[in-house]
């Protein structure tokens, strides 16, 4: 049963996200955690209160205007200062506000309580992707995934985005190469921060939304109650590819999680729990790229350099244009690497993607050179 509900929920969520939901589906996404369910009912409750007030106030207003209009001979009453009325219109709104503040405060306090987490993950916003790092922390799962780190990039292909004739995938713009993997039924603390501008970590069906601010650490938490894939997005306008940095959380059983963590640690050479400590923070997700074989120059080029170098905007040498490249190639590869990494004239350092490693930029240069010789 749980799995049918889950499939149904995931299907509805995906459909809503893709924007093809049946007309009328205007509500919040179906909650899949207790806290999200609390937020959902709070939202409904406050909505009802507002609708009731709306109907009463406008009802009284329209009734008075209509019944006591001048054309049927009504005369306005003239009076000042009526203590009874003043007390009533102070006390009633006060009680209404109390009735809304009490449950809201309870939910907000629960949302902010990140203590006693079983696992802690740092989510770093980049223009335009997320980097995840499983950090050392207390809790049940301490040590299991410490030090694992990777980037999570949009996996929808560029032609689906720019070419109208290409069919869009089911989770168009809501799919990534490396999802965030977490165990079911465990409290996950997320620490958010950002590398460049403000981003926001948002997974609606978990009731989680937290700004990721450069230079600050903010935290939030969730306990996934069912396995499956849950989707969210960056929720802070962060630049031209703001819509292209989705979040996918893959919830698996605790055993699957342990197996995944062990495999990741092996594949990426993530330091074991004892030695993770400080260097992990700086070594950052680059490691994954390096460990996944040679950096993929074509991919980096398409993601970070093609915007200028495919079209040749603002004097950027166009790839494939031999005349533009010949004098540059004559400088030698090291000069090209250096200019690509440090910038030159209008060419921004690393094409404006500070998150790229030197190796990735060099691989992109190699790719450009191989096309332009």
> Which residue ranges make up the site for ligand HEC (CB under 6 A)?
304-305, 307-309, 314-317, 328, 331, 335-336, 339-340, 344-348, 350-352, 361, 364-365
Q: How far is the CB of 291 from ligand HEC (least distance, A)?
A: 21
Question: Least distance to ligand HEC from the beta carbon of 246, Å?
Answer: 22
The minimum distance between CB 287 and ligand HEC, in angstroms, equals: 19
Closest CA to 277 of 150, 144, 135, 142: 135
Cα–Cα dist 220/211, whole Å? 10
User: In this complex, which beta carbon is closest to ligand HEC, that of residue 140 or of residue 338?
Assistant: 338
Q: Which residue number, 236 or 366, has a Cβ lying nearer to Cu ion?
A: 236
Question: Least distance to Cu ion from the beta carbon of 214, Å?
Answer: 12
Residue 234 binds which entry of Cu ion, ligand HEC, none, with Cβ cut-offs from 5 to 8 Å by kind?
Cu ion
**Which of Cu ion, ligand HEC, none interacts with 297 (beta carbon under 5 to 8 A by kind)?**
none
Please choose which of Cu ion, ligand HEC, none residue 304 contacts, taking the beta carbon within 5 to 8 angstroms, the exact cut-off set by kind. ligand HEC
Binding mask 189-208 for Cu ion (x = CB under 5 A): ----------x---------
Q: In the complex with ligand HEC, which residue's Cβ is closer, 247 or 319?
A: 319
Residue 86 three-state SS: helix
What three-state secondary structure class fits 191? strand
List strands edge to edge, sheet with 199-203: 180-183, 246-252, 228-234, 199-203, 208-212
3-class state of residue 247 by DSSP: strand
Of residues 238-277, those binding Cu ion (CB under 5 A): 238
Smallest separation, CB 292 to ligand HEC (Å)? 18
Residue 27 binding target from Cu ion, ligand HEC, none, CB below 5 to 8 Å by type: none
| Residue 194 site contact among Cu ion, ligand HEC, none (CB < 5 to 8 Å, cut-off depends on kind) | none
**How far is Cα 172 from Cα 292, in angstroms, rounded to an integer?**
25
The separation between the first and the last C-alpha atoms of the chain, rounded to the nearest angstrom, is: 60
What is the per-residue DSSP string for 205-220?
A: GGTEEEEE-BT--EEE
Question: 268 near 287, Cβ under 8 Å?
Answer: yes
**Token match 């959902």: residue?**
40
Are residues 174 and 5 in contact, defined by beta-carbon separation less than 8 angstroms?
no
Task: Give the shortest CB-236-to-Cu ion separation in angstroms.
Answer: 6
- Stretch touching Cu ion by CB under 5 A, among 16-24, 39-47, 89-97, 237-245: 237-245
Q: Are 145 and 119 in contact, with CB atoms under 8 Å apart?
A: yes
Sign of the CA dihedral running 116, 233, 351, 359: positive
361, interface contact from ligand HEC, Cu ion, none, CB < 5-8 Å by kind: ligand HEC
Q: Which stretch binds Cu ion (CB under 5 A): 63-71, 231-239, 247-255, 354-362?
A: 231-239
Q: How far is the CB of 342 from ligand HEC (least distance, A)?
A: 10
Distance from C-alpha of 309 to C-alpha of 160, rounded to nearest angstrom: 21
Residue 303 φ/ψ, nearest 5 degrees: -80, -35
Cβ-contact 227, 254 below 8 angstroms: no
Of 43 and 344, the one with the shorter C-beta distance to ligand HEC is 344
Residues that bind Cu ion (CB under 5 A): 199, 234, 238
């Amino acid at each position: 049963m749980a799995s049918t509900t889950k499939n149904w929920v995931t299907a509805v969520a995906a459909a809503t996200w893709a924007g093809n939901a049946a007309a009328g589906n205007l509500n919040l996404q179906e909650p899949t955690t207790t806290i999200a369910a609390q937020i959902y009912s709070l939202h409904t409750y406050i909505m009802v209160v507002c609708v009731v007030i709306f109907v009463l106030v406008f009802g009284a207003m329209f009734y008075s205007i209509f019944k006591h209009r001048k054309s049927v001979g009504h005369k306005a009453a003239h009076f000042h200062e009526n203590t009874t009325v003043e007390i009533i219109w102070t006390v009633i709104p006060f009680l209404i506000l109390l009735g809304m503040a009490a449950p809201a405060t309870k939910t907000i306090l629960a949302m902010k309580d990140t203590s006693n987490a079983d696992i802690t993950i740092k989510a770093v916003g980049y223009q335009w992707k997320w980097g995840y790092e499983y950090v050392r922390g207390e809790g049940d799962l301490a040590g299991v995934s410490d030090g694992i780190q990777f980037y999570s990039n949009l996996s929808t292909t560029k032609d689906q985005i720019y070419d109208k004739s290409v069919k869009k995938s089911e989770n168009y713009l809501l799919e990534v190469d490396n999802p965030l993997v977490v165990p079911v039924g465990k409290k996950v603390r997320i620490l958010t921060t950002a590398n460049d501008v403000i981003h926001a970590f948002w997974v609606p069906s978990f009731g989680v939304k937290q700004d990721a601010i450069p230079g600050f650490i903010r935290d939030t938490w969730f306990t996934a109650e069912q396995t499956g894939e849950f989707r969210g997005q960056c929720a802070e306008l962060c630049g031209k590819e703001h819509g292209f940095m989705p979040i996918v959380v893959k919830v698996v059983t605790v055993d699957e999680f342990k197996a995944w963590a062990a495999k990741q640690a092996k594949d990426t050479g993530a330091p074991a729990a004892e030695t993770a400590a400080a260097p992990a923070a700086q070594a950052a997700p680059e490691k994954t790229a390096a460990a996944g074989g040679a950096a993929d120059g074509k991919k980096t080029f398409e993601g970070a350099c093609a915007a200028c170098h495919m079209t040749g905007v603002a004097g950027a040498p166009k790839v494939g244009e031999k005349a533009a490249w010949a004098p540059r190639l004559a400088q030698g590869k090291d000069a090209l690497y250096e200019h690509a990494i440090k910038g030159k004239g209008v060419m921004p350092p690393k094409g404006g993607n500070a998150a790229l490693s030197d190796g990735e930029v060099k691989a992109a240069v190699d790719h450009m050179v191989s096309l332009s010789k």
